[in-house]
Amino acid sequence: MIHMESVQVGEHTFIGVEVKLPKTTLLTISNSRGYIMCGASKIRLLQGI
């Protein structure tokens, strides 16, 4: 399942994207200047999906 949501921090707007996978959840928060991301750090975990 994929969920997108606008996130307001002060005067700045970001787009949050959450991707739920069977063994982990990927998360990104981005704007026009860049992004931060967390999620699976092991490729083997994603290869089993």
pLDDT at 46: 61
- Total domain count for the chain? 1
Averaged pLDDT, groups of 10, the chain, 49 residues long: 94 93 86 84 60
Query: How far apart, in Å, are the Cα atoms of 20 and each of 2, 13, 29, 32, 39?
Result: 6, 23, 15, 24, 10
pLDDT at 41: 56
Report d(CA 36, CA 14) in Å as an integer. 11
Provide the domain limits for residue 8. 2-47
Q: What is the DSSP letter of 26?
A: E
